[in-house]
Each structure stands twice: as C-alpha cells, then as structure tokens.
A and B are shown apart, each in its own frame.
Chain A
Amino acid sequence: LAKTTQPISMDSYEGQEVNITCSHNNIATNDYITWYQQFPSQGPRFIIQGYKTKVKNEVASLFIPADRKSSTLSLPRVSLSDTAVYYCLEGNNRLAFGKGNQVVVIP
C-alpha cells in the first residue's frame, strides 16, 4: 500500500494562510492525490483532489508540482473551526493513511 509522509503538527493564528505539504515520492502514474480533514471523534471528510498543477474549490487549494512527488494543501484565512488533522492520500485504488498533520488554529 502506498504511504505518504507529512509533518506531524503545526500551529497557526486565525486569519493566516496555512500550507501543508505532503511527500509521495513513489506515486504511480495514474494516482490522484486526495486530502481529507478529520475532527476529533469524527470520520475524515474529503476536502480536495487533484492530479497535477493547481486545483481550487471553496474550501482549499491544492498545488501539485510537475514531478508529482509532493503536494501542498493551502487553507486560506483559517479560523478556529479549521483546527483538525489533515491527511493526504495517494492513489484511488489503495487506501493507506499516514498519521496526518495536526493543525491547531490559535485565536
């Protein structure tokens, strides 16, 4: 199963932009990169998915460089409610979550 690596934890102040990078050095040619958000005692929920370049939706932006060995999730102007664990996932046929990245938004 393909695994990704992310930093463990990061703090940010309200209103700032938060960028979380994920490494996926062995990503397969056909694999998408998907990001999820998880609040305590809830299941992860889908945020955004991309294959390459930049994808944007109402929640976040996702940038994937040409070599696709990493991706960066960008959360614009975070609020306290964005405090959560964020997971990146490579592949659409396999499912292997790492430990994710704990983002804590500080007032």
Chain B
Amino acid sequence: QITLKESGPTLVKPTQTLTLTCTFSGFSLTTSGVGVGWIRQPPGKALEWLALIYWDDDHRYNPSLKNRLTITKDTSKSQVVLTMTSVSPLDTATYYCARRSISLVHDYWGQGTLVTVSS
C-alpha cells in the first residue's frame, strides 16, 4: 500500500522560510524512474506544480518559483523535503506531495497540509 503524508508548520510569517516534509511508504525512491513531487493549491484556486525530485537525485522546479525552492530527499528515512524561502501571503495554500511513477504520472497523493502565511 502506497501512502504519502505531508508535515510542517500551519502558520508562517511573511519573509520566513517554509520547510515541508513528505514521508512516504510502500515504494522506494531508489527505483529507476520514480520521483516525488510537490503541488500546491491556494484556497479556492487551481493546482500548481512546484517541484520534483527523481530517484537519481535529479530535480526540477517550476520556473516561476525556481529561485525560492529547494527539494531534497533522504532515502533512508523515506522522506522528501521542500524548502521555500521568502514566503508571502500569496504562498498560503494546501501543499501536497505525490509520487511520480515510472509512467510519468503523479499517481498517489498525500492528504495535503494547509499552510497560512500571515503576520
């Protein structure tokens, strides 16, 4: 059974750095072709793809946010960490992590975690 779960702060102040952790089970991030991505959804708005890290440590970022994002993985802990710097209220959203399968699709998703950016 594949599961993913996001964790992190629920409230962050503007200009601070947001760190989110995705803890997964049921698959390995050492399997060729597999990745873990992050997607966010502001309240009442559409999904926005943020970042992806692959089994071989390669990574990709949304060009619109590239300078603010860092994605890393700890294979031994089955975790992927997303860091976002200089947050603003525009970053208020539910953040999801999802497995990127070898079929190039985000097939399994976590339940999401709501992060509010406010002073």
Specify whether A and B are partners. Answer: no
Binding site for B on A (CB under 8 A): none
